[in-house]
Amino acid sequence: MKSQGAASPCSSADAFPRNHLPALTPENTFFWQSGKEGRLAFMRCPACSFYVHPPLPICPRCQSRDVTPQIVSGDATVVSVTINRQAWEKGLERPYVIAIVELAEQSGLRLTTNVINCPIEAVHIGMKVRVLFDQREDVWLPLFEPAPPRFGTSA
């Protein structure tokens, strides 16, 4: 797993079995494999600068067909969170966090993911997080962990 910075010794991506990996298609392969380089990418329309997720061949804002993958910072904020305690399948017996994070680049650019490397009770709405990747076969799953505090700020 690639991460920027040190991880705290709490839950990790290894606690999550990944039996159901996404199918790679010509439209989404860039997204699922951008983590190979430790970066997160989304489709973006150069005509109106709108990020498009999930990947589409056309911009929903201006209808341009000139959308291309673009690297984003990987910085995000938790906008919704739940702790799953249900054992939906073998290997998911432990509680884990499911969160929706909003990327810093655009209001509404959201991703459903897991937050790791911190106690599950510490994850909260408004929490600043950053991307890291869990490689499974030829897929790099974007997960998030608490972002270190910025110099001169709290939280």
Distance in angstroms (rounded) separating the CA atoms of residues 13 and 59: 33
Distance CA 138, CA 28 (A): 13
How far is 98 from 6, CA to CA, in rounded Å?
22
- The whole-number pLDDT of residue 7 equals 35
**Which runs of E-coded beta strand occur in 4-95?**
40-44, 51-52, 68-72, 75-84
With a cut of 80, say whether residue 30 has pLDDT above it.
yes
Question: Which residues fall within 8 angstroms of residue 109, CB to CB, at 6 or more apart?
Answer: 42, 51, 53, 72, 102, 103
Rounded to whole angstroms, the Cα distance separating 90 from 57 reads 37
54 within 8 A of 62, measured Cβ to Cβ: no
Nearest to 131 by CA among 79, 59, 75: 75
Contact criterion met (CB below 8 Å) for 133 and 141: yes
Which residue from 95, 109, 108, 106 is spatially nearest to 142, judged by alpha carbons?
109
Task: Note the pLDDT tens digit of each residue in 104-125.
Answer: 999 999 999 999 999 999 999 9
- Please state, in angstroms and rounded to a whole number, the distance separating the CA atoms of residues 38 and 74: 10
- Rounded to two decimals, the pTM is 0.84
pLDDT reading at 154 higher than 50:
yes
Work out the angle at residue 124's Cα, subtended by the Cα atoms of residues 36 and 6, and round it to the nearest 5 degrees.
Answer: 40
Q: Is the pLDDT of residue 11 over 80?
A: no
